[in-house]
């Protein structure tokens, strides 16, 4: 009996130890669970704060910049808000040529008034006439090279290709003083006969350049040579003193050719093409310019009278 009681006591002691061990394990597990929940809550709060900061930076406008760190300077420099005037170099644009034969400095119209007389442009609002193309065909049958033309112009002993009676240029022009637009010209009988003889030698019944063709065609070259030739010869004789010809420039044939091309193939060709598109266009433009000049004169006189009336 005693032996059974001892075994039962040992069993009770073991059960008590097991209960105490179970209680200790439960307390340890509870402490571990509390620690894990605390760490996770801290991590979640830090992540939330970071996400809030990122959202704030994203929500900032594009023009707003992040604040730069403050820098302390011992001697701050204050810039004046008054804008400084910068003197820019003004360069005047050089005039551009709108035509290959255009001259920008030479005044060709005053020096080549005889060209207007040859063309028959002695009336108001002149427009050049077109040449006779059958005459151009006959001319091309006579001449094929430029030296042949120069030889016919220089040699006065050769028989003319056209009779003098068939020349239409300057036929009705009598010697003496004539009014050409705003100036007065004087043509002697010798000058008129010399011009007619030069045209007859070249086979020109009427002097009229071909403004529809190129300026360097054989026919247009002959028109240019005839004008420069008689201009130089008559100027040396003193026939063109009324236009104040500078005789020193008569030897510069290249300059005379440039001035001729400017007047004929640039200035007058513009009128000719404008008139071919619309008849009477040049006369309308000249009338409009005259009205504008008259209005400008009246307006300047009115402005000059205003101080006296006040």
Instruction: Read off the pTM.
Output: 0.59
- Residues forming a β-bridge with 187: 176
CA gap 97, 76 in Å, rounded:
58
3-class DSSP state for residue 185? strand
In the predicted model, is pLDDT for residue 107 greater than 60? Answer: no
User: Which range has the worst mean pLDDT, 89-93, 244-248, 264-268?
Assistant: 89-93
Listed range (175-189, 191-205, 231-245) with the worst mean pLDDT:
175-189
Q: How far is CA 130 from the centre of its chain?
A: 32
| pLDDT tens digits, 239-264 | 777 667 777 778 888 888 888 888 88
Instruction: Pull the structure tokens for residue 58.
Output: 């994203």
Q: What is the pLDDT of residue 106?
A: 45
The whole-number average pLDDT for the span 58-86 is 51
Beta-carbon contacts of residue 197 (< 8 Å; ≥ 6 apart): 156, 160, 164
Question: In sequence order, what are the residues at sequence separation of 6 or more whose Cβ sits closer than 8 angstroms to the Cβ of residue 306?
Answer: none
User: In a 3-state reduction of DSSP, which class is residue 176?
Assistant: strand
**Mean pLDDT score, 224-253:** 80
**Higher per-residue pLDDT: 58 or 49:** 49
17 has a pLDDT exceeding 90:
no
């Amino acid at each position: 009996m005693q032996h059974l009681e001892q075994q039962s006591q040992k069993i009770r002691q073991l059960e008590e130890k097991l209960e105490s061990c179970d209680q200790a394990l439960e307390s340890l597990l509870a402490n571990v669970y509390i620690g894990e929940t605390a760490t996770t809550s801290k991590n979640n709060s830090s992540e939330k704060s970071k996400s809030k900061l990122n959202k704030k930076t994203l929500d900032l406008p594009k023009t707003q910049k992040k604040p730069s760190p403050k820098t302390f300077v011992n001697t701050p420099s204050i810039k004046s808000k008054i804008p400084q005037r910068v003197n820019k170099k003004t360069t005047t644009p050089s005039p551009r040529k709108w035509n290959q034969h255009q001259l920008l400095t030479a005044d060709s119209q005053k020096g080549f008034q005889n060209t207007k007389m040859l063309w028959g442009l002695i009336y108001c609002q002149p427009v050049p006439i077109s040449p006779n193309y059958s005459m151009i065909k006959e001319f091309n049958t006579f001449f094929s090279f430029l030296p042949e033309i120069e030889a016919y112009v220089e040699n006065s002993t050769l028989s003319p290709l056209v009779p003098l009676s068939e020349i239409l240029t300057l036929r009705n022009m009598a010697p003496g003083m004539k009014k050409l637009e705003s100036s007065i010209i004087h043509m002697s009988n010798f000058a008129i006969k010399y011009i007619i003889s030069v045209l007859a030698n070249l086979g020109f019944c009427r002097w009229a350049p071909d403004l529809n063709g190129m300026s360097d065609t054989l026919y247009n070259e002959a028109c240019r040579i005839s004008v420069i030739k008689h201009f130089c010869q008559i100027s040396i004789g003193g026939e063109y003193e009324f236009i104040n010809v500078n005789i020193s420039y008569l030897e510069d044939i290249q300059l005379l050719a440039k001035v001729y091309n400017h007047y004929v193939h640039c200035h007058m060709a513009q009128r000719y093409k404008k008139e071919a598109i619309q008849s009477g266009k040049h006369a309308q433009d000249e009338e409009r310019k005259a009205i504008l000049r008259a209005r400008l004169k009246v307006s300047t006189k009115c402005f000059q009278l205003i101080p006296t009336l006040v």
